[in-house]
Amino acid sequence: MRLRAYQQSAVDSVYEHIRTREDNPVAVLPTGAGKSLVLAQIASDAVNRWNGRVLILAHVRELLEQNADKVRRLCPDIEVGLYSAGLKKRDTNTPILVAGIQSIYKRACELDPFDLIIVDEAHLISKKGDGMYRQFLADCRVINPNVRVIGLTATPFRLDSGMICSPDHFLNEVCFEVGIKELIRDGYLCPLVSKAGVNRADFGDLRIRAGEFVAGDVEELAGDDALVSAACAEIVDLTADRRAVLIFAASVAHGRQVVETLAKNHDIECGFVTGETPADERDELLSRFRGDAPASLLTDEPLRFLCNVNVLTTGFDAPRVDCVVMLRPTMSPGLLYQCVGRGFRLHPGKQNCLVLDFGGNIERHGPIDQIKPKEKATRPDQAPPAKECEKCHALVACGYANCPECGHPFPPPDGEAHDARASEAGVLSGEVTDTECDVQDIVYRIHRKRDSDDDAPRCLRVDYMIGLDRWQSEFVCIEHSGFARRKAEQWWQQRCIDPCPTIAEEALDLAQAGLIAPAESITVRSIAGQRYDRIIGCRLGEVPTVANLEEAPF
């Protein structure tokens, strides 16, 4: 097996770090980028070139088997052992040992010294406390003070403590990182697309405890029968051309609801996997979903739908997955990334992977190629100090029920209504979504840039109401010069028979007198990762004249 260019760069960066520094590096590669090949190459070189002994640590059975397989294929002349209670293996003296942390964390003294420890999914090493990784690595350092640790991960941060690298941690610095969009561009990962829609799910009233949404609140909201029914109907409608749909449910009860609803309302078989699913049943379901069921199971149809609860987030490799459905919200950017990452892998005939986010997660954390840990608030449930009015965009204290500037009512804080439809947010930064929206109301007013001088040029601000409490703004630079003025003149000529004014008050008077053609619909462009949407098109009504104004019934 030959490494891809970026995989070789990751290996070279690790070696350069170890040669030139005395601390421990982390290499960051996206899900599906082939971390197993990178760690296999490093392990092979450590044994063959430097006569070292290597331990490869992981936390789930699938990763242990995957890593051991890659090392054996890359270096068939090296004996590779396995230590895992789940796999019923207890090898101890091999040059390369692949081990489950749950099975080995109390047994460092039984395994003889290691020169190199490679940790897959290294973000699982806590920066504080006495977790299994910390306990085991500390014991290994006592046995061999010169042992080096190398971390591999797709997400170099934790919800509880931010970035995993620090001077006083077992992992000290990211030495290599390759981006999702770069690998998609080069044809190594599958493109992601997201469903667009005007309405969004509302999880604003969920309580937060220990950095995550309270499980009971999530289950109560997500388990609403009408929501489950509507969400399942949309999933079925949007996945008619998809071959493998992986669903992440909020709880076991919620997952069962989804499975039963798909069967009852749509005659669709959906597999279901939880932490309590017996191993044989789980293996059979995953095999059918992957499309590689053994001969004894060929009588069963391949599974198109598979629902799980907190199980298939890491170590699960099913390249056929061409749709990921998030039916749950999460405060963890790493968990969101791991779930969505199940669709990254390439597969024959797979053009892209559709991401349906019913939990508002992408809006919460941003496009997954730009996810970074956020600074923790003083209190997890602390409300922001101010909110923006969606009609006039004034910033006002959160205690107001109505905007003091324009009287616009704010939605109730307990979020009484919840939409069952998927989010419109782009799953990758730069993803462009154009949505045509009917205009229900238009408000004109004068706008001057905040903190500008009194003699600074002003704009005619046009606010379009395009949904329930949703507004989109446009700024017509009436008093500006140059390109901005020319654009304002073009805008005005399309809507009014009078010449474009040079003073903002005159433009406002004409607009409020009904002499500007009203917009019947606007096309709004959203670019994932950018803060503001913008108007790129407009369908106008009739341009007013004196004659048709006189004929108006008002």
**Residue 352 within any structural domain of the chain:** yes
Give the predicted TM-score (pTM) of the model.
0.70
* Co-location of 64 and 150 in the same domain: yes
Share of the chain above pLDDT 90, in %: 40
Give dist(CA 149, CA 522) in Å, integer. 55
What would the pLDDT profile of 46-97 be if each residue is shown by its tens digit?
A: 999 999 999 999 888 888 888 888 888 888 889 999 988 888 888 888 999 9
Does residue 521 form part of some domain? yes
What is d(CA 551, CA 346) in angstroms, rounded to the nearest whole number? 63
| Domain match, 19 and 165 both | yes
- Helix (H) or strand (E) segment spanning residue 180: helix 180-185
Shared domain for 228 and 313, answered yes or no, is yes
**How many CB atoms are closer than 10 A to CB 546?**
9
Do 136 and 224 lie in a common domain?
Answer: no
Q: Are 67 and 98 in contact (CB under 8 A)?
A: yes
Phi, psi (rounded to 5 degrees) for 89:
-125, 140
Residues 258 and 228 sit within 8 Å (Cβ to Cβ): yes
* Last residue in a domain, options 140, 155, 179: 179
**Structure tokens given for 81:** 């052992």
What does the pLDDT look like over 210-239, one tens digit per residue? 778 888 888 888 888 888 998 999 999 999
**39 lies in some domain:** yes
Q: Computed from CA positions of residues 412, 416, 419, 420, in that sequence, does the dihedral angle turn out positive or negative? A: positive
554 domain residue, yes or no? no
Specify the CATH number for the domain of residue 350: 3.40.50.300
- The answer to whether residue 377 is domain-embedded is no
Whole-number pLDDT of residue 27: 95
- Residue 549 located in a structural domain: no
User: Rounded to whole angstroms, how far apart are CA atoms 212 and 531?
Assistant: 25
The rounded distance, in Å, linking the Cα atoms of 381 and 402 is 23
- CA atoms of 30 and 19, how far apart (whole Å): 25
Query: How many domains does the chain divide into?
Result: 3
Residue 386 lies in a domain: no
Q: Which of 30-39, 146-155, 208-217, 539-548 has the least mean pLDDT?
A: 539-548
Which of 60-69, 141-150, 152-161 reaches the highest mean pLDDT? 141-150
Examine the domain organization and report whether 274 and 325 are in the same domain.
yes
d(CA 358, CA 420): 7
Q: What is the DSSP letter of 486?
A: H
d(CA 223, CA 324): 19
Residues 236 and 352 in one domain: yes
Please spell the DSSP secondary structure of 86-143, one letter per residue: TTTEE--S-SEEEEEHHHHTT-GGGS---SEEEEETGGGS-SSS--HHHHHHHHHHHH
Same domain, 253 and 165: no
Question: At which of 179, 203, 229 does a domain end?
Answer: 179
CB of 90 closer than 8 Å to CB of 83: yes
Q: Are residues 321 and 451 located together in one domain of the fold?
A: no
Q: Are residues 358 and 467 in the same domain?
A: no
Based on the domain organization, do 482 and 448 belong to the same domain?
A: yes
**168 and 197 part of one domain:** no
66-80, 110-124, 360-374, 478-492: range with lowest mean pLDDT: 360-374
Among 322, 341, 365, which residue terminates a domain? 365
For 65, the domain range is 5-179
CA gap 424, 194 in Å, rounded: 7
- CB burial class (10 A; 0-12, 13-18, 19+) of residue 17? buried
Q: What is the pLDDT of residues 430-440, one digit of tens each?
A: 777 788 888 88
Low-confidence winner among 78-92, 109-123, 375-389, 465-479 (lowest mean pLDDT): 375-389
Q: Shortest CA distance to 408 belongs to which of 388, 434, 380, 435?
A: 388
Residue 33 lies in a domain: yes
**Does position 199 have pLDDT exceeding 50, yes or no?**
no
* % of the chain with per-residue pLDDT over 70: 84
| Shared-domain flag, residues 336 and 437 | no
